[in-house]
Structure 1
């Protein structure tokens, strides 16, 4: 089937991702509140938030290698099972150590789901459709981030913080399980079988990382996700210090997510107006200033405005960094390149909360947002030096895709860019630049 010809699979993927991400977004602040109720301080919150990313840190590249040489879809139900178990068992945990453990399981499940789904979008989208499809795909994440914190804020509170946060975590586990209902016929069978390169011809990880554009996409993604992650984990702590109720914190986090959805709905016209490089640079720069603004003792209404603007700016980084990595990487190492991007994300999720916990313990709960401002400022510098985007010539890319489809009798095989080299096509420039590995 021609990429983009029937995007029912993309809609089902967005729905499943909405429930999976909604469960995680509901669980992350609930974990923070439950840990506070069990006696955790700012440093302990940082450690628990970092453990969420620790297991995925070691699993990302092997999972990416496996997906490059096989199907994407099997990772999705595995991810849902792990998210469901991690959320529910975090709610039943009675100590900070067990909470950290189940938080890590939740993070591993999220990684499995994201690697499988991102690889699916890359594999089943034509090159000129990738910015749009990745933008639509990440709307699922933003929808989950919109509903999850509000649900957590509605359930958490009152006199029993430990019990209400445990209930929120169990409800989050049930929410994740709903994602199973959308995981049917999500991967084109012929496309999956046509996209399996020779397992013996693996491009080294170092070679992928040396490909121009891949490191830039990884760093931008790391900075943007670290900002989102610390915002989710530490805004409840800021609320506790400033006397803001958990329900209000949930609304503020959801306002940020709503702005991200709005950004991704208008991503295509923004790209036509500014181009990928300028758009990434400007939004990272503005996000840096807005993150630093959160550290100021502003009233709740001003904090809401800051978060809305920040959510809009952060909405650009994730989908465009995915496209940057996919289009820069060799065709038969796309899933591995996406896994390396996720590894960078998890490195940020381990290091940034740990650093934030240390800073918060010394300088106060709002200080980590200054750290995020510095990180996003660096990412804007990386974005401005990234290679020019190929979508400036969208029509030639589409014509090239049409030519490739005309060279094969199987339209499903032609729809998959990963199969071009195996079918005797021209070796992509990114692959030639690696030499023989």
Structure 2
């Protein structure tokens, strides 16, 4: 019980630390006189190393344990706040972004792995992951508002320096996270190359993992758009930092209510329908942003987008846990985060292209068209491989290589 509460506390603090810099970094870049293309590159660099390190870090979590990896990420978060505070030019800002990306990867992968391994039965795990997602959404809601208010009072650099204090809280909270490393006597030590091979094998042979990676990338794109590019659009409309934080935060507030409704929605509509809804309601509102200029219309679009994207994370986590064995889960979570970091890296790069040819407002429409094709691709993937009516977990797990029928007895998955 104490461990479960500790993970929820760390999730809340981590999301505040991870989300507080997303709207502030592009605004700080604009304050420093950087061009739109340069700002896009600065945002993208945060996800560059995590894209390559997600699978090895997943292996590190399996072998070293969640607690140790979490502590390492906390130290990096403390250092990140110091670097942001010292950022008076693009070089130091890029260095802070790199350190921030690696620290977030270490913390988030260890916390997600610990959360999925805390419960054993499908119903208990789904319920806990629902709470996990709600605490995550609360942190995402508070972060932009806290950052906006702090930026209006003290400026961007001091607001970003708050990361160091949050890193200290994460370091203290790491004691509540259980050690979940695998038994080294029964499981051979894996090299980095072997972890890539294992991750590649899981991704190639496990259609369920492929689905969670593909579907999980769309809300990452949307979150990057809403938290990094929407603030620039709002700033050009002369909104204050506090108002920008409120509009961005409303998307996360909507996600809280959405995740509270996750269980009844799945029972009533089925997992497949809910997944489809989460995909399209997340990005279509962002495509409509250039049509509005007032606070409340833009706040409503942010809320609808957050509602759609909010249910995707706990659902894909639950499905991924069901599609993998316990000893595979760290690497599988690394695969999921690899896809997320690829989206987080590609979104700013695409923004630089869209911004160059169609401007800031036109880039929202371009993203909407791109993600529409992506969403249709996910639906086609499910229809082609027939992953089960309503994406029922028990039905899907039977088709996963390495999971036997006897492991499904009693409604449990490994």
* TM superposition score normalised by structure 1: 0.83
Q: SS at 2:34's partner residue?
A: coil
**2:167 counterpart of 1:168:** no
Partner of 2:337: 342
Partner of 2:178: 187
**2:132 counterpart of 1:141:** no
Q: Offset at 1:300?
A: 1.5
Partner of 2:393: 391
Instruction: Decide whether the 8 Å contact of 2:140 with 2:252 is kept in 1.
Output: yes
| Cα distance per residue 1:55-89 (max 9 Å; x no partner) | 21121111112223342221111112212211331
Q: SS at 1:100's partner residue?
A: helix
Q: Which whole-Å CA distance do the structure 1 matches of 2:166 and 2:274 have between them? A: 34
Aligned counterpart for 2:315 among listed residues 320, 334, 340 = 320
Partner of 1:108: 102
Partner of 2:21: 27
After TM superposition, the structure 1 = structure 2 runs for residues 168-247 of structure 1, keeping only pairs within 5 Å, are: 168-187=159-178, 193=183, 197-199=187-189, 204-210=198-204, 211-247=206-242
Q: Which whole-Å CA distance do the structure 2 matches of 1:356 and 1:318 have between them? A: 23
Q: SS at 1:69's partner residue?
A: helix
Partner of 1:65: 59
Partner of 1:360: 355
Sort the Cα spacing of 1:277 and 1:19 in 2 relative to 1 into closer, same or farther, 3 A.
Answer: same
Q: Offset at 1:323?
A: 2.2
| Cα distance per residue 1:14-40 (max 9 Å; x no partner) | 111211210221122222222111111
Q: Which whole-Å CA distance do the structure 2 matches of 1:374 and 1:83 have between them? A: 35
Q: Which whole-Å CA distance do the structure 1 matches of 2:375 and 2:186 have between them? A: 36
Instruction: Decide whether the 8 Å contact of 1:29 with 1:232 is kept in 2.
Output: yes
After TM superposition, the structure 1 = structure 2 runs for residues 394-433 of structure 1, keeping only pairs within 5 Å, are: 417=414
The alignment of Structure 1 onto Structure 2 pairs a total of residues equal to: 395
Partner of 2:36: 42
Q: Which 10-residue stretch deviates more, 347-356 or 61-70?
A: 61-70
Instruction: Decide whether the 8 Å contact of 1:47 with 1:357 is kept in 2.
Output: yes
Structure 2's unaligned 5+ residue stretches are none
Q: Offset at 1:241?
A: 1.7
Q: Which whole-Å CA distance do the structure 2 matches of 1:35 and 1:267 have between them? A: 38
Q: Which whole-Å CA distance do the structure 1 matches of 2:392 and 2:233 have between them? A: 42
Q: Which whole-Å CA distance do the structure 2 matches of 1:167 and 1:116 have between them? A: 28
Instruction: Decide whether the 8 Å contact of 2:214 with 2:378 is kept in 1.
Output: no
Q: SS at 2:222's partner residue?
A: helix
Sort the Cα spacing of 1:333 and 1:234 in 2 relative to 1 into closer, same or farther, 3 A.
Answer: same
Q: Which whole-Å CA distance do the structure 1 matches of 2:327 and 2:13 have between them? A: 30
Instruction: Decide whether the 8 Å contact of 1:84 with 1:173 is kept in 2.
Output: yes
Sort the Cα spacing of 1:196 and 1:232 in 2 relative to 1 into closer, same or farther, 3 A.
Answer: farther
Q: Which 10-residue stretch deviates more, 103-112 or 174-183?
A: 174-183
| Cα distance per residue 1:33-55 (max 9 Å; x no partner) | 22111111211111111011112
Partner of 1:290: 285
Q: Offset at 1:311?
A: 0.8
Q: Which whole-Å CA distance do the structure 2 matches of 1:206 and 1:193 have between them? A: 22
Instruction: Decide whether the 8 Å contact of 1:69 with 1:197 is kept in 2.
Output: no
Q: Which whole-Å CA distance do the structure 2 matches of 1:336 and 1:196 have between them? A: 17
Q: Which 10-residue stretch deviates more, 79-88 or 111-120?
A: 79-88
Between structures 1 and 2, the one with greater helix share: 2
Q: Which 10-residue stretch deviates more, 39-48 or 331-340?
A: 331-340
Q: SS at 2:175's partner residue?
A: coil
Instruction: Decide whether the 8 Å contact of 1:356 with 1:368 is kept in 2.
Output: yes
Instruction: Decide whether the 8 Å contact of 2:226 with 2:302 is kept in 1.
Output: no
Partner of 1:77: 71
Q: Which whole-Å CA distance do the structure 1 matches of 2:229 and 2:186 have between them? A: 42
Instruction: Decide whether the 8 Å contact of 1:284 with 1:313 is kept in 2.
Output: yes
Instruction: Decide whether the 8 Å contact of 1:217 with 1:325 is kept in 2.
Output: yes
Q: SS at 1:28's partner residue?
A: helix
